[in-house]
Amino acid sequence: MRKRYLAPLVLSAVFFAACGGETKQEEKKVENAQETPAADNSMVSGSSEAKTEESKGEKLMAASDCQTCHKVEMKVVGPALKDIAAKYPNTPENVDKLADKVIKGGSGNWGEVAMLPHPNVSKDDAKEMVTYILSLKK
């Protein structure tokens, strides 16, 4: 009888440990970035500075736990971000519907595994994230 309760407990602990580990890695990246001196780009031509700037939605996703279950090109636990963009046209209705899905969680659209709710994400931030995801259309 005890074994029946042990497996879900262990799996839950592993899941929560995986979801919470990104903030320490981000802090290390920030510390390393502050220690590294900036490169001198004064001799670089303007054409090589064509690096695209991150959108607000992309920054919000990088700061959250989204990458635990989603990657841009590859299905992990949840669908690849490009697959989501291919399935849903970038319309205000879809942005609103998917932003609600981010906040409330849910299952059924991509299989049996449910997406956990993110009640701490504001509606505006969720819309920014969804807008970024839908901009990744193949």
Which residues participate in the annotated binding site? 66, 70, 115
User: What is the DSSP secondary-structure string of 11-51?
Assistant: HHHHHHHHHH-HHHHHHHHHHHHHHSPPP--TTS-GGGG-P
Q: Which residues does the annotation place in the binding site for heme c?
A: 66, 70, 115
Nearest to 120 by CA among 97, 104, 98: 104
